């Protein structure tokens, strides 16, 4: 009997000491079609730069690059368009914003952006990972061949930077310290690793160099090779993930973050839900992976629907941007500038640039995972700009779970007057998933942020 009590006490102790371990859902971004993930860790935050398939894309229709951030790998904050083809004066086309990668050096952020069909690989620079990014050289950094796509950039411990790229050939060049020029010849890697197709991703771990890549089209899986040197020779080590008929393409982005290893890629799961035809409307997915003792990588199954475990929780007593979400349905995001609006003909001074959730209709929802009500709750504030008005039901733990509170937005407007509306909520404690479920007719309102008291 004594033993039984001890076991129960131990299980309870383990349970209260365990970090919150809810799983997210793949694909990780739902408000846009996204592909070609390029994650970068900076200031304890994951910055995920992506390419962007337009909502009406049939083939590749890609005008700009997007940015998402996360500190828990499950809730991602949408920052919208971070750069676009318009940032390059030498690009006249409005299609071709293919797979980018961003890296930090000397407190500047360098984003390498390929434009296909022989236009080349450009570079943009910013003082901030959020942009604005500018083209410092006014011409392509790389203009070598029709293969000039999919750049991956890496800075070695000795300060030498390398740019690899290419489909179907694999090239590299040594970048100068300014990161916007290079020295020496462009090298066409004589022996490509087996199954190399495109989308290389270059990193180093424990003194070993790695190159992951989209392998043998199509469907593309993710293969990888290792080397003792940043310039090869590269030895094929196997597949991180086999190709699968559910996704014709793939494209790796790999990081270590808070003690875990992550591989990003993409599938077509969101577009396939509603469309039987194949269109280039892709969605980024994320998995954990692990290394063996010899540095090789344990193979993964195809992208799961559950994704990765959450690292940490969300603090609901902070202002949380509405565009921070673990999952959503039916929603978009957009930005606008808010003006003082002195009279109907004088907009007055600029108050703020806002980025918010839009296209909100009856039944759409935002899921925020792992919200820690350590101090309980009495009320919620939401910042909204009304269109036809409606309400926000806040459900806990399931989309049809208990309603913690309802915010009524009983005003109609033109979506340009922002108001903070408060509503009482049931007091809950502990870690919960929140579902902000929208109710009403037509397009309801814009939603900027929320905060609990």
Q: What is the binding site for ligand FUB (CB under 6 A)?
A: 35-36, 51, 60, 98-99, 149-150, 198-199, 214, 249, 251
For residues 131 and 199, which CB has a smaller minimum distance to ligand FUB in the complex? 199
**Taking a C-beta distance cutoff of 8 angstroms, is the pair 264, 37 a contact?**
yes
For residues 60 and 388, which CB has a smaller minimum distance to ligand FUB in the complex? 60
Closest distance to ligand FUB from the beta carbon of 240 (Å): 15
315: DSSP letter: -
Pairing of strands 161-165, 208-215: unpaired
For residues 85 and 149, which CB has a smaller minimum distance to ligand FUB in the complex? 149
Closest distance to ligand FUB from the beta carbon of 255 (Å): 18
- Spatial separation of the C-alpha atoms in residues 173 and 276, rounded to whole Å: 42
DSSP symbols for 364-386: -EEEEEEEEETT--SEEEEEEEE
Closest distance to ligand FUB from the beta carbon of 243 (Å): 13
For residues 27 and 390, which CB has a smaller minimum distance to ligand FUB in the complex? 27
Question: In sequence order, which residues have a C-beta less than 8 Å from that of residue 191 and are 6 or more positions away?
Answer: 232, 233, 234
Nearest Cα neighbor of 28 from 258, 372, 308, 221 is 308
For residues 163 and 360, which CB has a smaller minimum distance to ligand FUB in the complex? 163
- Two tokens, residue 188: 């066409």
DSSP symbols for 431-448: EEEEEEEEESSSS-EEEE
For residues 112 and 445, which CB has a smaller minimum distance to ligand FUB in the complex? 112
Closest distance to ligand FUB from the beta carbon of 308 (Å): 21
Closest distance to ligand FUB from the beta carbon of 35 (Å): 5
Half-sphere exposure of 64 (CA within 13 A, CB side): 14
Closest distance to ligand FUB from the beta carbon of 168 (Å): 12
């Amino acid at each position: 009997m004594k033993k039984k009590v001890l076991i129960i006490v131990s299980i309870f102790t383990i349970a209260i000491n365990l970090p919150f371990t809810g799983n997210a859902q793949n694909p990780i971004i739902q408000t846009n079609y996204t592909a070609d993930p390029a994650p970068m860790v900076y200031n304890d935050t994951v910055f995920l730069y992506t390419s962007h398939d337009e909502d009406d894309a049939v083939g590749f229709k890609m005008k700009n690059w997007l940015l998402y951030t996360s500190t828990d790998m499950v809730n991602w904050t949408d920052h919208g368009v971070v750069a676009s083809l318009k940032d390059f004066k030498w690009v006249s086309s409005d299609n071709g914003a293919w797979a980018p990668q961003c890296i930090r050096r000397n407190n500047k952020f360098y984003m390498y952006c390929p434009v296909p069909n022989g236009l080349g690989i450009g570079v943009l620079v910013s003082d901030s990972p959020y942009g604005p990014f500018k083209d410092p050289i006014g011409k392509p950094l790389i203009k070598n061949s029709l293969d000039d796509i999919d750049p991956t950039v890496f800075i070695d411990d000795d300060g030498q930077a390398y740019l690899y790229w290419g489909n179907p050939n694999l090239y590299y060049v040594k970048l100068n310290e300014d990161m916007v020029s290079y020295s020496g010849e462009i090298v066409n890697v004589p022996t490509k690793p087996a199954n190399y197709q495109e989308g290389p991703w270059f990193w180093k771990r424990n003194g070993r160099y790695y190159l992951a890549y989209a392998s043998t089209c199509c469907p593309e899986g993710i293969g990888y090779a290792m080397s003792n040197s940043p310039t090869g020779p590269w030895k094929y080590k196997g597949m991180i993930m086999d190709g699968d008929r559910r996704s014709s393409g793939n494209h790796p982005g790999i990081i270590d973050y808070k003690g875990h290893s992550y591989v990003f890629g993409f599938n077509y799961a969101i577009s396939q839900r509603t469309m039987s035809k194949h269109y280039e409307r892709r969605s980024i997915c994320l998995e954990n992976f692990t290394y063996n003792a010899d540095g090789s990588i344990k193979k993964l199954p195809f992208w799961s629907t559950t994704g990765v475990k959450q690292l940490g929780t969300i603090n609901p007593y902070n202002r949380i941007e509405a565009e921070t979400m673990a999952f959503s349905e039916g929603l978009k995001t957009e930005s606008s500038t808010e003006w003082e609006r002195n009279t109907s003909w004088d907009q007055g001074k600029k108050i703020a640039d806002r980025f918010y959730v839009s296209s909100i209709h009856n039944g759409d929802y935002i899921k925020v995972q792992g919200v820690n009500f350590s101090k309980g709750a009495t009320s919620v504030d939401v910042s909204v700009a009304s269109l036809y008005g409606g309400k926000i039901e806040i459900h806990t733990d399931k989309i049809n779970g208990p309603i913690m509170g309802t915010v009524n937005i009983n005003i109609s407007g033109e979506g340009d007057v922002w108001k903070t509306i408060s509503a009482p909520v049931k007091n809950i404690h502990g870690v919960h998933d929140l579902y902000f479920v929208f109710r009403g007719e037509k397009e309801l309102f814009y939603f900027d942020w929320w905060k609990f008291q």
